[in-house]
Amino acid sequence: MLSKKMFIGVLLLPLSLFAHEGLGIEGEEIQAIGNLVEATTAQLATQKDIKSWMEQYLTLKKKFAKGDDEKRVGFQMVQLSKKILTTLREDHLEDLVPSAYIDELAFFTTLAKEK
């Protein structure tokens, strides 16, 4: 048997639902969170790309230091540094990496502009 409070609650539930109708657009809050999830997912994908490019850049830097195919590796470093730096700046992520790294990328990026 339902308690008196529970019975009253069940009776008042439809009134409560109707009272809130019209205060907001149905589902708008779900759409807002959905949009946030999509934006966050896109940002995460970009950040994963940046990480991958940074790893590739480090590998190229080591090859360049060894003298392995300097011209080709140097060209790849220049292109990749430009890609990394541009993306870091576009996504306002420059402050997350050391300034010396940004300076290094900027140096190689200027080489790309000279060609």
pLDDT per residue as tens, the chain (115 positions): 556 665 555 555 565 555 555 555 678 888 999 999 999 999 999 999 999 999 999 999 999 999 888 889 999 999 999 999 999 999 999 999 999 999 999 999 998 776 5
- Tally the domains of the chain: 1
Residue among 60, 61, 50, 54 nearest 90 (CA)? 50
* Per-residue pLDDT at 22: 52
Task: For residue 52, tell me if it sits in a domain.
Answer: yes
> Does some domain include residue 84?
yes
The DSSP output letter for 2 is: -
Domain residues for 37? 8-114
Inside any domain, residue 85: yes
User: Is residue 2 one of the residues assigned to a domain?
Assistant: no
Alpha helices of the chain — where are they, by DSSP H? 4-20, 28-66, 70-90, 99-114
pTM value surpassing 0.75: no
